[in-house]
Amino acid sequence: MNKTLIIIFASLFSVSLFSQNHIVADLKIQGNKRLKSSFIKNISTIKAGEKLDTLVIEQDIKRLKRLPSISHAYYQVFHSEDGQYNVFYNIEENFTLIPSANIYTTNNDEFAYRLGLHEFNLFGRNIGFGGFYQKDIYSSYAINFRAPYLFSNKLGLAVNFQDLTTQEPVFFDGTTADYKYNNQSIEVLGLYEFNFNNKIELGINYFVEDYAYKFGATNPMVPQELNVHKWLLKSIYEYNNLDYSYQYVSGVKNQFNFQYVTSTDDALPDFFIAWNDFFYFKRFGSRSNWANRLRLGLSKNDKTPFAPFSVDNNLNVRGVGNTIDRGTGVIVLNTEFRHTIYEKNWFVLQGNAFVDAGSWRNPGGDFGDFSKNENIKVYPGLGLRFIHKKIYNAIFRIDYGHGITKNSTKGFVFGIGQYF
C-alpha cells in the first residue's frame, strides 16, 4: 500500500471516529514513570464514558507536550467491546531536576552569573519548586513554588520569595551614578486556566526597595539613600497556541502583563507598568525553526532616574551590556533563525543567527524618543545551542552580539534555555 493510500485511510478513520457516536471505554497512560497517571487523567479532557473525539484527543496531546515533565507524547486508539474504544496516551518523560546557569559578559569586562536548581515534577504532579543564587557584584537568592493544577485541573497557586541585590546605574542630566540596589519581596499568585488556550494569573507582591549611593554623579534632586515599602498588584493574561516537537516549536503565543504599584511613602507616587509579549514560531522543513518575540511596554512617564524598563544583555539585546540604560517605554524585537546542525539520539547541536533590536522612551519624554538614534539599539549576532532532548530545558546557549548602531558594544551571553 503506497503512502497516499495510507494517508487517505488514516484520514477516513479519523473522520469516522469524529462523526460517529463512539464511546471511550477507558483512557490508559503508558510510558510514564515519575509522572502520575492520575494527574494526566485529571488534566485531560477525554474521559471514560464520553464521546470519542479525535480533535479533543489531539488537543490533550498538545497540552501534555507543553508540560515541563514531558518531552514528547502521542496517542493510539484501539477497538474495545460493544462499539467502544480504548484510548492510549503514550508519554516520553523528561528528567526534571534541573540545574541552571546564566553567565554574561561584555567587552567592558563585566561579569555576572546565576546558578540554580529546580524540580519541575515534584510528587509526580507537575509542581515546580526550586531557587537560585546570583552573583552580580553582590549576592542574591530566590525560592519559587508553582503548582498550576494544585486544587483542580484549572486552579493552582504560585509563591515566590527573592532577596535581590545588584549594582544599578542611575541615569540623570546626561550623567550616571551607581547605586547598590536591594529588592526583597514575597509574592502570592492564583493561577486559573479558562480553557486549552487561555489562562490568567492574579496576585499580590509585597516588597522593600533600598537604594544606596556608591559612586558617580550627584544631584540635590536625586536622593543618595532611598528605602521604601511597596505593594504590587499583578495580573498576567496568556493566550497559548504553541505546538512542541522536541526542540522545534510552531504557532503563536501572547502574554500581557499589568502591574500597579503603590507605596507606603506619600512622597513616592503610585505608578503602573504594562507590557505585552507576542511570540511567533514557524517550522521550515525538518531541521529549521524561525522564532520571534515582539515586546511593547509602557509605564507611568515620571521623570525619574529609577525608570522600570532597562536595556540589558541578558533580557532583551544580546551584547549590549548589563543595564546600560533605562526608560518608561520599550519596543524590542528579537528574531532568530534556528537550524539543527547535528542530531543523534538524545543530543542536538543547533546554530542560530539573530537580530535583537529595540528602542526606549526616556523618563519624562514623549513617543518621539523611540525614533531617536541614541535610543535605538540594533545587535545582530550568531549563537550555538547544545540540547539534551530528554532533560527539560537542557539547552546550553552561547550567543555573541555585535552592535551596529550609535555607541555600540559587543559581547557574549551564556545561559540555560533558549533566549526566548
pLDDT digits (tens, 9 = 90+) for 136-160: 889 999 999 999 999 999 999 999 9
- Cβ count within 10 A of residue 405: 15
Record the pTM.
0.80
What's the rounded Cα separation, in Å, for the pair 277 and 397? 22
Which grid cell is 331? 519596543
What's the rounded Cα separation, in Å, for the pair 49 and 262? 51
For the chain, what is the HEC assignment?
A: CCHHHHHHHHHHHHHHHHHCCCEEEEEEEECCCCCCHHHHHHHCCCCCCCECCHHHHHHHHHHHHHCCCEEEEEEEEEECCCCEEEEEEEEEECECEEEEEEEEECCCCCEEEEEEEEEEEECCCCEEEEEEEEEECEEEEEEEEEECCCCCCCEEEEEEEEEEEEEEEEEECCEEEEEEEEEEEEEEEEEEECCCCEEEEEEEEEEEEEEEEEEECCECCECCEEEEEEEEEEEEEEEEEEEEECCEEEEEEEEEEEEEEEECCCCCCCEEEEEEEEEEEEEECCCEEEEEEEEEEEECCCCCCCCCEEECCCCCCCCCCCCCEEECEEEEEEEEEEEEEEEECCEEEEEEEEEEEEEEECCCCCHHHHHCHHHEEEEEEEEEEEEECCECCCEEEEEEEECCCCCCCEEEEEEECCCC
- In order of their start, the domains of the chain are 3-93 (3.10.20.310), 97-416 (2.40.160.50)
* pLDDT of 80: 85
Which grid cell is 267? 512622597
Enumerate residue ranges in the chain where pLDDT < 50: 6-12, 15-19, 107
Which grid cell is 186? 514575597
